Amino acid sequence: MKRLTKEQKSTFDNEGYVVVKGLFSQEDVEVIRSTFERIGNESVPGYFEPDLSGDAVDPLQRYPRVMHPHRFNETAKNYMLHSPVLDVLEDLYSEDVLAAQSMFYYKPPGARGQALHQDNFFLKVDPGNCIAAWTAIDAADEDNGGLLVVPQTNNDEIVCPEESDATESFTKGYVKPPKGKKAVPVKLDEGDVLFFNGNLIHGSYRNKTKDRFRRAFICHYANASAREIGMHYNPLYKSNGESLELNINPDGGPCGVEHEDVYPH
């Protein structure tokens, strides 16, 4: 079991994120990659609906992100509950963990990035916060659309997003970094996991390469003491796979209740 060092825990607490190198074995990475390679050639209504016609102009029409694959694929569910990830999360939370969401991003060559945003704007975990575990299935860097984080925004409030640049981001919301803080790239190798706080401002670059995907398996978690979460995330799962439901958080956040109907990011 891989637990965090004191230095890693301090980095997460102070900066809002920490990278754990090689948390997924090469074998695990290959299983995840091959699983989503198969999923990538089919349609799963409500979760993954690619344009398989061969006529898609936008790369993300052919390879949109897969939402909640743990709800229809056992391998995805098993890796959402991957013991090494849960061990790290228990260190970060200092309590038990609940798994709330899984996603898979293919991010093919030419695909737009995702504008800077905050995860707990969507998950609305209360009391407490969500934490993301962002696993690199391909090496991720500035060329193929790697992650950007704004350090030390983990203690900032959730803010109402502005409108993003649709030519660069496939999502509509953009959270401007506070004065004196800026986004920095995080370089990851296959199997590395970036853990980050739900208030941390983060996003990603466009994939500028012609031949490199930037695949990633991303899961969101909540502390076991949480009582409420956004409406799209029930049921959650304990480490043993047992499901449970939290109360729906009725708080619409800084933008009002109309954001209740926004599909999870």
Q: Estimate to the nearest angstrom the gap between the alpha carbon of 253 and the chain centroid.
A: 20
| Ranges of H-type helices in the chain | 6-15, 26-39, 59-62, 74-80, 83-93, 120-123
pLDDT of residue 254: 74
Which CATH architecture fits 6-261?
A: Sandwich (2.60)
User: Which region, left, alpha or beta, applies to residue 68 given φ > 0 means left and ψ of -120 to 50 means alpha?
Assistant: left
The alpha carbons of the chain give a radius of gyration, in whole angstroms, of 17
Note if the pTM is more than 0.85: yes
| Domain edges within the chain | 6-261
Site of tokens 């975990």: 125
What distance in Å separates the CA atoms of residue 104 and residue 224, rounded to the nearest whole number?
Answer: 24
CA 156 to chain centre: 19
Given this model, what pLDDT does residue 257 score? 55
In the chain, which stretches have pLDDT less than 50? Answer: 1, 258-265
Rounded Cα distance, 229 and 231, in Å: 6
pLDDT of residue 263: 43
Three-state DSSP class for residue 204 = strand
Number of Cβ within 10 Å of residue 210's Cβ equals 7
Model pLDDT, residue 2: 60
CA distance 20 to 251: 33
- At residue 262, the pLDDT reads 46
Backbone region of residue 261 per phi and psi (left: phi > 0; alpha: psi in -120 to 50; beta: other values): alpha
